[in-house]
Structure 1
Amino acid sequence: MTTTPKNPNWFDIGMDAWALAAESNIVIAMRIGSLAQGGPAAVQEAGRMVSEKVAANMKLGCDLVTGKLGSSPEAIVSGSIAHYAKSVVANRKRLGSGPIKSTFAV
């Protein structure tokens, strides 16, 4: 992820969103591969995927309501991207880092 400054601008936010989308696609491909193999590991991964998504969305909602993301549209969008980026990077590392280097600085 680009290092978005404390006062993010829409260009930096757009670059961060693009990087998150690219990183997310890598994680999706890795998860599809593990789910396609089937078995108990696939069931566990599917359950983990759903529970992580619910927990991430609930936490982001709480952060939004309590103002932890800021008050400007730029700060809210930037904070939301950063929130999801942490989970995406952690999942990519857990599923197998391989030769691809993360685009995010965590």
Structure 2
Amino acid sequence: MIALRLTALAGGGPVAQSEGERMVSEKIDAAAEALGTLMAGGSPDAVIARYREHVRANAERLSAHEIE
């Protein structure tokens, strides 16, 4: 996963810009979602399970498209 993202960033240009912005916004969204889950009484296991869903989706997205 990290290697796929680093490849996108290393290419520079619009692809790198878009991927960098996406990474930052995902981190902010993930923190807010985790906090909401915990505040609503969810378990750390629930937070980790949801995080894994996001990681899996990103891996599929990044590997499905050739990085230019």
TM-score > 0.5, shorter chain as reference: yes
**Residue number in structure 1 paired with 2:47:** 80
State how many pairs are aligned: 64
Q: CA deviation at 1:30?
A: 0.5
Alpha-carbon separation, structure 2, partners of 1:55 and 1:80: 13
More helix by share: 2
**Residue number in structure 2 paired with 1:93:** 60
> Which runs of 5 or more structure 1 residues have no equivalent in the other structure?
1-26, 70-75, 98-106
Alpha-carbon separation, structure 2, partners of 1:55 and 1:46: 14
- Cα RMSD of the aligned pairs, angstroms, is 1.0
Q: TM-score, normalised by structure 1?
A: 0.57
Q: Are positions 1:58 and 2:27 aligned together?
A: no
> Which runs of 5 or more structure 2 residues have no equivalent in the other structure?
none
**Residue number in structure 2 paired with 1:43:** 17
Q: TM-score, normalised by structure 2?
A: 0.87
Moved over 6 A (4+): none
How many percent of aligned residue pairs carry the same amino acid?
Answer: 42
Alpha-carbon separation, structure 1, partners of 2:3 and 2:36: 30
Alpha-carbon separation, structure 1, partners of 2:62 and 2:19: 10
1:34 partner amino acid: A
